[in-house]
Structure formats: C-alpha cells, structure tokens
Structure 1
C-alpha cells in the first residue's frame, strides 16, 4: 500500500482492484495532496562478503640424492732404488761371510675415506598476503522520482528528479 493510499484510507480496495485488472486496462492512480506529499525512493545496494577458503597447499620436504664424487688426493709411498756400480777392485780386510741381510722399511700413504654431515644451507617458507582487485558485476535496481506537468504548472525540482518525456 502506498503512502497516498494510507492517507486516503482506501488502499486495500485499490490494491485488490489493481491486481484483478490486466496491465493494459489499469489507469494511473492519481493522488491529491493538500500542500505536501512524501514518497520514499528505494535503491538496491550490493552486500559483498569475503570468506577465506583453502585453495591448495605447499608441501616442503627434503629428498636424499646420491652424487658420485671423484677427488684427487696426493699420496706418497717409498720406492727403493737399488743401484749397483763397479769399483776399482780395492783390497778389504773383511772376510766373505755366508750371508748378509739388510732390511729397508718401505712406507706408503693410504687413503682412509670417512663421511661426516655438515649444514650447507637452509630453506625457509612463509606466507604473505597479496591484495588485488576483483571486479564484481551485478545489476541493481533503484526507484527514481519523475514528474510531468499539465498546463502552466511551475515546477522547481532537484537534479535527481527528472521530467518525464
């Protein structure tokens, strides 16, 4: 029921009549007000809510990979060099014995390979919030006031109120 129906007290009967008439047969309701009239204008506004949803995940893990390494390690070992030379048949006082043995120890460096673990770096992960704009498109409706005049009616109206053409 409109404001004007409420004032005149017969809004319910007009609404019933309006519902029973086809659109083409309806005659525009004309309301007569003494000096002042009031009409509420309504408009739709968008109610936008945001909700944080899980869209995926990142799993951070370590894998063990094998890597073959070749390292050149300098090592040393003893080599016995046996040289024989001729001498000038010089006389000696020492008799010839059955045996004479000389022991020469021989050494070599051996490579002993062991492994130990060291920290070579670190990996960290963190989240940060990225803000971006998303364009939301929807159709809203609003009521606007329009007026028309007959005869020499003088009207001063706001910019938001337009004259019906």
Structure 2
C-alpha cells in the first residue's frame, strides 16, 4: 500500500518498534479519532501486501466506519454480518484466508482476497474492530493475529 518506511529488523524487533511508534503517537493525545487515524496510517506503512486498513466503531448494534487507509468502504455493518460484524458479535479475532469462502462476506473492494479482523475491547466492552484486507489469499496467519492483538491492546489501553 504505502510502506515508505522499511522495517529491517527481525519480526519481533519490527513489532516492538511498531508498538513503540504507536505509543509515541497516542500517549498524550486524548482524541480517539486522531489516535485511530494515526494508528491506521502507521499500520498502512508497516504492513505489506494489504489494500485496506482501518477501524469500525461500535455504535448501538452495528459498526460504523472510522478512520482508515484505502478505498472508500461500507459505512455501517450490523453485528453478526460479514467478517467485521461476526468478529464484533463474538468479540474474537477472525482470520479469513479467502474472503470468497466466508459466508456473507461484505465486499467493499473487489481486490480483497483475505482479511483479518481484531476486536477492540476495553473492560469487557466492545469499542470497535480493526479490519485489514489483502489482495492476496492466505495473507494473514497466527503470528499476525498475535501481533495485531498486541497493537490493539496498546491502542485500547490509551482509550479515554
């Protein structure tokens, strides 16, 4: 997508640097939208082979589009619908190797082939989800899940 910065360390070193960068961007800023905007931009430069990264925020019984990087996206997703709504309803990360095989997948970008969605949860309450799409099948794995859950944990720890 953008990837202007090259992370040249080991995976663990790169993730540590990413988390350090996230903390520096959000630790003194109370505005959620600003923090989510910077978080999506940071992930867009960090991750390779992605075509969309952003956030949907919980509002009532649906998710509403928040800050993102990529093509225009679906604005509202009911809980339980598509990958994002399913992850939100279950409050669990979902990795989809091939979005065309996910029942009820909501296609916002025809180029998307795989997806990972990580819920944002604080004190047991769903705040929203982090959604990342790739134009390649099987882009996301368990290591990505763990890394992105760490990223989301840092983000929600600073949620005011």
Is the TM-score greater than 0.5? no
Greater RCO, CA 8 A, separation 6+: 1
Structure number with larger C-alpha Rg? 1
- Normalised TM-score (structure 1): 0.15
- Normalised TM-score (structure 2): 0.16
The structure with the largest strand share of the pair is: 2
